[in-house]
Amino acid sequence: MEFIPVLKLDELPAESSKIVKAGNKKIALFHYNNKITALGNACLHRGGPLGIGHVKACYDGLYVSCPWHGWEYNIQTGSAAPGYEDQQSVYEVKIDDNQILISSEPVIQAKKAFHDSPLLDDLKNLRYQTSPTSLNILGISATNMHKDLPRFSTSEDALEKSLAFATEQLGAETRMIKLRDLEFRHCEGYYSQHMQACNWPCSITEMNPEDGMTKVYADMILWADIVVMATPIRWGQASSLYYKMAERLNTVQNQITLKNKILVKNKVAAFIITGGQDNIQQVAGQMMCFFTDLGFAFPPFSFMGWSRGWTAEDMDKNVMQFKKSDYVVRASKELMENTVETLKQLKRMNPDKITAPKPRKNDSWSSEIENPDQNY
Ligand code: FES
């Protein structure tokens, strides 16, 4: 077999790793325990650069963790961590004088195991459950409370009123997601490693389909025609649970950046915002900005709010007055009427004609500059 010189030996000190090029391949070289080993640099998951991953002793040997999402490979055998079937490609290494050479072809071929569940497969292949006539309304409640101590939530109550009206009077199919009931991880910022590290479906969901956001992705992206987002006001903002969910929706918006692929088309969003003190318009504005970046459209008067104002610190009377309010009952219905009417109009639009005037990866001034550490 042919061997290719790739690096001087003294350029790879003990306890270090480096990415080198052999022909048109990028190889991760490791120098640990007085031995030099070589693996394919592109992680089998999404192509993260293994040569700049962290190496540590664990399981039955030395393993490198991919810097993108943490898949692990034995740096000698290329095998994945115990319990996984993946096999990274391994190259033979020779030392000649002060020169490191590696085989031109791998001596062990890469093999990616099958990881997908049926739901992941639906997400990956965007098997939408909407139709030209469907009226699927998803309510998402972002209020937080301890599940063993449930209390009355004004935002959730208004959402329940809206959904009940939509079911009974407008013939909608409705579902409700209570974010507090879902166990889901925070966005872990893979995008900051590389735009390709944040892909669809979300890497966290892909690594763990049991993660609670899988339900949000499936219901919001595949099933819903309308999303009604309900949140309390917390320090003038939507709740922290809302933001936890919103950060995990980066995966949806990022498809536009990466592939000019719009996942959300012909869907409408509306909002319910309640708080003891005010800031309703600010919260609505922030949420509308985010949802329009996902691709949602809005009805006229796209949110309803409830607040008793800046001095209303007598919170014990908030629920009491909310429950007596005719306005809440009326607004919960009117919000849905406007939203459903807007959806009917929107369904007449040709989704193929919807474009996203957003930055794409090639719009960056530095897009032509190569980063030698990365595989893309
Ligand atoms: S773990 Fe390597 S690319 Fe995701």
As for ligand 1, residues whose beta carbon falls within 6 Å of it are 43, 45-48, 66, 68-71, 203
* Distance from Cα 106 to the centre of ligand 1, integer Å: 20
Nearest to 224 by CA among 110, 340, 367: 340
Task: Give the DSSP letter string of 232-275.
Answer: E-BTTB--HHHHHHHHHTHHHHHHHHHH---S--S-EEEEEEEE
**Is residue 28 helix, strand or coil?**
strand
pLDDT for 2: 94
* Distance from Cα 8 to the centre of ligand 1, integer Å: 29
* Distance from Cα 367 to the centre of ligand 1, integer Å: 22
Question: Per mean pLDDT, which range of 194-198, 219-223, 281-285 is the poorest?
Answer: 194-198
Which residue type does 277 have? Q
Determine how β-strand 35-40 pairs with β-strand 54-58. Answer: unpaired
Nearest to 336 by CA among 131, 176, 171, 154: 171
pLDDT for 155: 97
| Confidence class for position 361, pLDDT limits 50, 70, 90 | confident
The string of pLDDT tens digits covering residues 321-344 is 999 999 999 999 999 999 999 999
Domain with CATH 3.40.50.360 in the chain: 118-361
Q: What is the DSSP letter of 222?
A: I
| Confidence class for position 206, pLDDT limits 50, 70, 90 | confident
118-361 maps to CATH 3.40.50.300: no
- Looking from the CA of residue 190, the nearest atom of ligand 1 is 4
pLDDT for 104: 94
pLDDT for 336: 98
* Distance from Cα 46 to the centre of ligand 1, integer Å: 5
pLDDT for 291: 98
- Looking from the CA of residue 70, the nearest atom of ligand 1 is 1
The string of pLDDT tens digits covering residues 258-301 is 999 999 999 999 999 999 788 999 999 999 999 999 999 999 99
Burial 136-171 (b: 16+ CB within 10 A, else e): bbbbbbbbbeeeeeeeebbbbbbbbbbbebbeeebe
Cα distance between the two ends of the chain = 28
Structurally, what CATH architecture does the domain formed by 3-103 represent?
A: 3-layer Sandwich (2.102)
The string of pLDDT tens digits covering residues 127-183 is 999 999 999 999 999 999 888 888 999 999 999 999 999 999 999 999 999 999 999
Task: Give the sign of the dihedral formed by CA 86, CA 89, CA 92, CA 95.
Answer: negative
Which pTM was predicted?
0.85
CA distance 44 to 281: 46
Tokens of 113: 């195991």
pLDDT for 159: 98
Question: What does pLDDT average to over the chain?
Answer: 94
Task: Give the sign of the dihedral formed by CA 103, CA 107, CA 108, CA 109.
Answer: positive
pLDDT for 8: 96
Domain with CATH 2.102.10.10 in the chain: 3-103
CA distance 87 to 73: 8
The string of pLDDT tens digits covering residues 93-139 is 999 999 999 999 999 999 998 777 888 899 999 999 999 999 999 99
